[in-house]
Structure formats: C-alpha cells, structure tokens
Amino acid sequence: MSIVKQGISYGFIGIIQIVVDWLTFIGLTQLGVVTGPANVTGRVVGASLGFWLNGRFTFAGDEARPLRTKHAMKYLVTWTLTTLLSTGAVMLATRLHGLHMAWAVKPVADVALAGVGFIASKYWIYK
C-alpha cells in the first residue's frame, strides 16, 4: 500500500480512535474521575481499537501477516510516550483553565501526536 493510502487509512482510523478516546475521557470526567487517570483510560480504550485496526488494515501489507507480540510491545512504547504528553497537556489545561478547557485541548493534542504515531507505525511498530 502506498504511503498516501496508508496515510488516508491511518487518518480515518485515527478519527474513530480519537472520538472513542475523547468520549471516554469526557464521560469519566463527568463521573468525577480526575483528568490524568481519565485521559489514560480513554487512551487505552482508543489505542486498543486503533492498534488492531491499523495492524489489520493500514500497515498489514500484501501478505496480511498477523499481529505479533513484538508489534504490541513497540506499540506500547510509542503509546506510553504519547500518553505522557497527552496527559500532561490535559492536566495543565485543567489546572490553568478548568475541565471544559481540558475537554477542548485533548483532541487537539491527540491529533498533533497522531503524526508521531504514523511515523512510528509505518517505520517501526508494524515492521
């Protein structure tokens, strides 16, 4: 699959992933969960879906090889780093401007981090 097609597929799946993550985050914070743990939980839910969809469709290649433990471990490293950055952004937004600002900042931060995720996915995670 060409990098353009991969980018489109990654973007489409990423939109689904970010919406699921964001809605989980909003729901949990409305229930009283503080922003840090709510963000991590939302990212776990979204990432689980995104890992499988991108591995199955975006980066599978022509041979459609199955996802292996090595892929999951690489994904976990990338996910951990981007989750630390995302969580820092929503916690800072909450501290400085309140919960509603964190709700607005979260998808923006996650979209910005998606570029890092695409490069890591294409050249490292799913190889």
Number of domains within the chain: 1
pLDDT at residue 43, as a whole number: 95
* Spatial distance between the Cα atoms of 43 and 1, rounded to a whole number of angstroms: 27
Largest CA distance in the chain: 49
Confidence category of residue 87, pLDDT binned at 50, 70, 90:
very high
Domain assignment of residue 41, given as a range: 3-125
How does pLDDT run across 47-68, given as a tens digit for each residue?
A: 999 888 988 888 876 555 677 8
- pTM of the entire predicted model: 0.82
DSSP-H helix ranges across the chain: 3-30, 35-53, 69-97, 99-120
